[in-house]
Amino acid sequence: MTVHEPAEPVRATMLRTGTRALGWLNRNRGQLTFAGDTTAELAEPDSVYKPLGELALAASLVLRDDPFHEADRRAARDLLDFAWDQLRGGDLLYERQLRFPAMTDPLETYVHFHRAGHRHEPLQALLAHLTGLASYREYEHVPNRRMAVANATRVIGIDDRADWPARTAATWLGATPEPWTMDWMTAYHVTHTVFHLTDWGAEPRGLPPHVRDYLATWLPVWTDVWLEIEEWDLVAELLLVDACLPEPAHDPAAWRRLAAAQHEDGLLPRDGRTGTEDPAVRFYNHYHTAVAAVTAATAALSRSGA
């Protein structure tokens, strides 16, 4: 039998975890600064460029769903504007898209700023042209990333020509496979398929019924397994998946365990093994988990009612 101790309501846990993670990201955002001579080629796109896009994702969802207090909303706006400045008001994205017409990451990054009100008209014109090309839409990404492109296209208001049922069927999740074969990498593929199908929780009905039922049955199992081995980053993503379902479970025990792993300053370790002491790598090692926690808390709070 579960011993039901007096516990704070799950909404309070979500709010505390999400706002502390947001505060930590905002206070440490200076780690993500381009060198002065950075060009659109980006020799190391994962070092600053990709994390900036992920910060923008978290901030844009806070601004879209508005689940936190006013001060946190301002922090999200600051964070988003910081990232936009780093991208030179979108010029870097525009130059990168001009330089590499086949690449979809400028669109996948721009979408988060667009969601929060920023516009770069020349880039928008490029994207309107490119997303009309089969070449761009059918770029040989893994299937769930093709859905990222399709979702970004519809969010920035361009005619979305994606065949969503076919795209869904092409993913691992779309096949609703044997749930016990799930592994760590596949789990991330699954979470992202759900994020793009539902536009990060805004459209739970974007999940086809067979996928919805499959997730309702198996998501608790996967969450339990990765909670046990303290894979906090994945747990946060799985809690976000839960918040994207038509009927989220908002499992209080899972939220409490994630919250318990969070440090006083808001840092959330990506797992139970990776150190958090070294200031030089601390942010890079753990920023993604803060992003996941902010987005999970945002979606969960906005879907759990007052």
Partner 1 sequence: MSNAALRADYAQAVEQLAGRVLGVLRDTQAPLPAVSDADRPADTAALAAVRVLGPDLFAPALFRREPLPQPDREALGSALQAFPPHPDDSAEARWRDRTTAALLAHGTNGGTAVPYPADGPGAFGGAGGADAGEEAEDAALSWQERSRRMARLAPLALPEVDGPFQQRACRHVRALSRGAARSLMRRDYPTAARLVRWLALARSRGAAPALDLPTVLDHLRLWGGGGARTALDLTIAGRLLAGTEGAPR
271 binds partner 1 (CB under 8 A): no
Query: Would you count residue 83 as binding partner 1 (CB under 8 A)?
Result: no
Residue 182 sits in the site that holds partner 1 (CB under 8 A)? yes
> Would you count residue 7 as binding partner 1 (CB under 8 A)?
no
The residue within the footprint of partner 1, chosen from 70, 178, 277, 278 (CB under 8 A), is: 178
**Nearer to partner 1 by C-beta: 24 or 214?**
214
Spell out the residues 6+ positions from residue 25 whose beta carbon is closer than 8 angstroms to its own: 55, 58, 79, 266, 287, 290, 291, 294
Site membership for partner 1, residue 1 (CB under 8 A): yes
Per-residue x/- track, 203-242, partner 1 (CB under 8 A): --------------xx-xxx-xx--x--------------
Is the Cβ of residue 9 or residue 184 nearer to partner 1 in the bound state?
184
Q: What is the DSSP string of 84-142?
A: HHHTGGGHHHHHHHHH-TT--HHHHHHHHHHHTT---HHHHHHHHHHTTSHHHHT----
Residue 289 CA to residue 294 CA, distance in Å, equals 9
Question: Can residue 188 be called a binding residue for partner 1 (CB under 8 A)?
Answer: no
Residue 139 contacts partner 1 per CB under 8 A: no
Chain positions contacting partner 1, by CB under 8 A: 1-2, 178-180, 182, 217-218, 220-222, 224-225, 228
